[in-house]
Structure 1
Amino acid sequence: MNDPQVPAHLEYAFEMRVNFRPERCTVGPLPGGGYQGYTPCASGTIYGPRLSGIIIPDSGADYATVRGDGTIVIKSHYMLQADDGTKIYINNNGYLIPAKPGEARLDDGTPQPAYFCFSPTFVVPEGPHDWMGKTLIIGTGSRRSNPDHSIFTYYAVKQTLD
Structure 2
Amino acid sequence: MSQMDIDTFIQTAPSLRFAFSIKAKVGPIQDLGQTARGHRRIIDILGGEVRGPRLEGEILPGGADWQIVRPDGTIEVVARYTIRSAAGAMIYVQNDGLRVASPEILERMSKGELVPPGSYHFRTAPRFETSEPTLKWLERATFVGVATRAPDRVAIGFHEVL
Q: TM-score, normalised by structure 1?
A: 0.82
Please state if 1:74 is matched with 2:77: yes
Relative to structure 1, is the Cα distance of residues 86 and 28 closer, same or farther in structure 2, using a 3 angstrom cutoff?
same
How far did residue 64 of structure 1 move? 0.5
User: Counterpart amino acid of 1:41?
Assistant: I
CA distance in structure 1 between the aligned counterparts of 2:83 and 2:32, rounded to whole angstroms: 28
User: Counterpart amino acid of 2:52?
Assistant: G
Relative to structure 1, is the Cα distance of residues 72 and 102 closer, same or farther in structure 2, using a 3 angstrom cutoff?
closer
Cα deviation, 1:102-152, whole Å, max 9, x if unaligned, reads: 699xxxx8214521001001111141111000000110101123xx10101
Moved over 2 A (4+): 2-5, 28-32
Cα deviation, 1:75-113, whole Å, max 9, x if unaligned, reads: 000010000000000000010012342699xxxx82145
Residue in structure 2 matching 1:26, options 12, 28, 31 = 31
The secondary structure found in structure 2 opposite 1:85 is coil
Cα deviation, 1:6-27, whole Å, max 9, x if unaligned, reads: 25210000000010123x3212
Residue in structure 2 matching 1:54, options 50, 58, 69 = 58
The secondary structure found in structure 1 opposite 2:55 is coil
Relative to structure 1, is the Cα distance of residues 69 and 7 closer, same or farther in structure 2, using a 3 angstrom cutoff?
closer
2:40 — aligned with what? 36
Structure 2 counterparts to residues 1-162 of structure 1, below 5 A = 4=8, 6=12, 8-22=14-28, 24-30=29-35, 34-57=38-61, 59-101=62-104, 110-111=114-115, 112=117, 114-145=120-151, 148-158=152-162
> How many equivalent residue pairs?
149
The two structures, once aligned, show a CA RMSD in angstroms of 2.5
Kept in 1, the 8 Å contact 2:73–2:106? The answer is: no
List gaps (5 residues or longer) in structure 1: none
The secondary structure found in structure 1 opposite 2:133 is coil
List gaps (5 residues or longer) in structure 2: 108-112
User: Counterpart amino acid of 1:118?
Assistant: T
Greater CA drift, 84-93 or 121-130: 121-130
